[in-house]
Structure 1
């Protein structure tokens, strides 16, 4: 299973156990569980707290202090229209996160169906979603909360396995949707290829109301000066099988202040009208003061990209450190492989089959807390037990370096113990 050799007459398992004992004795308290912005990233948006100042009127004269404006401020929608690939008149600015929007769309579909639904989803005998894996645990949590069956679809390096997706969606009318993080996917970091986007838009589905939940969370979160390209899904759907197939989501949560962001939802005219009708019963309008604050702070799309360049300058050294340490500590051992994302907030570490939970357990006992093994799969169960999500963004660089080096010790220990027991 491994390529570890005996050195200095010390069996690999004994050497690994000694390294682990030294690690545990350090009394570390390090946390890599969630992809949160670090304090220095949040500091880049400190100017938001001084805005909008004494002026509360939007560009069109709207008094942002008052009710109304269910579509959100036009000037903020214009800034994010290009990055999210949604025409501004079909992009809505809403509450503080895209997760609440995705959750509420699922709930409203259950309660009322979506455009094209023959009945409410709650009246269906079964409702199922395709779930690319490894994937985002909070997507899976929404499905699990509401009894939606999750069907795993493998990721390929350029998006989900479309042969599998087409087969499953085409054969089963209970399959109502698919979760997608199309750019710098969580946690693998891959970006969907043009052919994948086209096939998602054009594939035959047994459900007439099939929806693509296009969670473009990392649309502007590049780690290099050469951003990955992503085909326009809404345009592909308009030219394909169903113009209403896609719902696009995004937010400023990892752009400005994570706890005081703005969420976006966009889609076809029919989907937008449906959403506005549904939310009109629960809100008289979004927080336009916060939206004005963001529009004044970012100024325009160029200002958004400049702000994200400064974010990249803080994040790139952390991702580089993870790559450097993993290569130095685990490269050539046969014990691990990992992704090297060009953007986003995560990377995926693959360890030998059957080892991920034990690696995470050993790391936790040594004071390095990781996302639970299995979180990257529906129901928290990775059948191969080999994927570990790494979130490098929040710790300081020295803490991150210590955590990744310690994680490598745990991988070597578990690998050596497995090899020793055959």
Structure 2
């Protein structure tokens, strides 16, 4: 099989003519498929419907220590909710605060508090001439949106198969005291599905930041989101590693059950050192009297413990696994060996990351949209939505049905072929 770059101009033009006929046939179908976000499907959300039956008007709504969960109190969360979320996060219950429904909200608040009031007595970022954040790329667009919103300068750090390029991270963090943090999705990263190696985690824990208020924003969003029972990534626990390295205050660790129970109605938590937690609670006590303890109690009674959560996630995996396998199988079948794209076959998380030929990603996404398939906007996986090489496309297989996903991926690979041919013809 020839790669596209090995084909002559006449061969490419003939192939393009055939592909355009197929593309027109897709357009004539009037497809309306949305693969723009990593949303769970209705079938996945059905898995947690039993949570709706946990409470009724006669239910006992007191926690294990006798707290009436209908009332105020327990600012940092119910003890049994702490224990459940701590098990999910692989840390100690005394190291976490249980929040409301959204870890993204917690991350936003953490940045906002740093901007207005500083971190553990350090100068508030709003009083500094410049504040920077490191951003492993490709990465999570909503992380980048938070730092952009607050006017924080974002600096790209390339991802490797082991995680962010730590040579670059170590150099920048140690030399520049305007760098205050780094966004991290350490397990099944968004969008590549990469898990940080033990050495990468240890190097993070051993960082020697020039800024005293530098923090790791460790978003463990996919910590129990495995696709396979017999192939699962495990990563070192960052809070423990920071303590071992003599950097106990270095990390904020975030998690939520948004893609475990119900998106928008889950429970979020933050883990950090005792000193960090005390600093955070000063603001938290002003912001709220308590979060939704009924929802915390509901989650505890539904899942019971971490084993219950793991069993629940096996059901999610049974729904997701065929979709991810179909996505990658179609990429392999349609694009394998053509030299016009690369992709990673993940074993967990929520996305498949596709790398097109340079300068093609935006055109591919636009062409797919014209035929009725909405993808994540090209460039979204980079700060300021600017992919310098215009190559990365995030594929989100979770929401469509298998039938819809198959059609969407057939169309996607067709668009990759057509745009790649046009790019090659431009250079002939």
Tell me the TM-score normalised to structure 1 length. Answer: 0.97
Question: SS of the counterpart of 2:287?
Answer: coil
1:51 aligns with 2:54: yes
1:129–1:148 contact (8 Å) kept in structure 2: yes
Selected match of 2:4 from 2, 5, 11: 2
CA deviation string 1:302-324 (max 9, x = no partner): 10100001111110000000011
Aligned partners of 1:165 and 1:8: how far apart in 2?
A: 45
> Equivalent residue for 1:352?
357
Cα contact 2:224–2:310 (8 A) shared by 1: yes
Q: Deviations for 1:212-246, whole angstroms, at most 9, x for unmatched residues?
A: 00000000000111320101111111122421010
| 328-337 or 236-245, larger mean C-alpha shift | 236-245
Residue range with higher mean Cα deviation, 146-155 or 53-62: 53-62
Q: Structure 1 residue 16: deviation in Å?
A: 2.3
Other-structure match for 1:236 = 241
CA distance, structure 2, for counterparts of residue 90 and residue 283 of structure 1: 20
Cα deviation, residue 171, structure 1: 1.0
- The reply on whether 1:298 has 2:303 as its aligned counterpart is yes
CA contact (8 A) 1:32 1:394 kept: yes
Q: Is the 8 A contact 2:134 2:154 kept in 1?
A: yes
* 8 Å Cα contact 1:137/1:377 also seen in 2: yes
Distance 1:63 1:150 in 2: 45
Q: Report the secondary structure of 1:258's partner residue.
A: coil
Counterpart of 2:329 in structure 1 is 324
Give the C-alpha shift of residue 261 in structure 1. 0.7
Q: Does 1:73 align with 2:73?
A: no
Q: How far is 1:85 from its partner? A: 2.4
Structure 1 residue 9: Cα displacement: 10
Tell me the residue number matched to 2:36.
33
Task: Pick one of 96, 101, 114 that aligns with 2:106.
Answer: 101
SS of the aligned residue for 2:374 comes to: strand
Alpha-carbon separation, structure 1, partners of 2:24 and 2:162? 40
Q: What SS class does the counterpart of residue 286 from structure 2 fall into?
A: coil
- Tell me how far apart the structure 2 counterparts of residues 9 and 154 of structure 1 sit (CA, whole Å): 33
Tell me what 1:248 maps to.
253
Superposition CA RMSD, Å: 1.5
Contact 2:99 2:291 in 1 (8 A): yes
Q: Structure 1: how far apart are the matches of 2:125 and 2:247?
A: 19
2:184 is aligned with 1:188: no
| Residue 286 (structure 2) aligns with | 281
TM superposition shift of 1:18: 2.0
Q: CA deviation at 1:3?
A: 4.4
Tell whether the 8 Å contact from 1:203 to 1:241 is kept in structure 2 after alignment. Answer: no
Correspondences of 1:171-186 after superposition (within 5 Å): 171-186=175-190
Residue in 2 aligned with 1:150?
Answer: 154
Between 1:356-365 and 1:52-61, the stretch displaced more is: 52-61
Give the structure 1 partner of residue 115 of structure 2: 110
Equivalent pairs counted in the alignment come to 421
Give yes or no for contact 2:4–2:12 (8 Å, CA) kept in 1: no
Gaps of 5+ in 1: none
**Is 1:363–1:369's contact at 8 Å kept on the other side of the alignment?**
yes
Q: Using a 3 Å threshold, how does the CA distance of structure 1 residues 10 and 245 change in structure 2: closer, same or farther?
A: closer
| Partners of 2:11 and 2:239 in 1: CA distance | 61
Q: How far apart in 2 are the matches of 1:418 and 1:10?
A: 12
Structure 1 runs of 4+ with >4 Å offset:
3-10
Q: CA deviation at 1:342?
A: 1.1
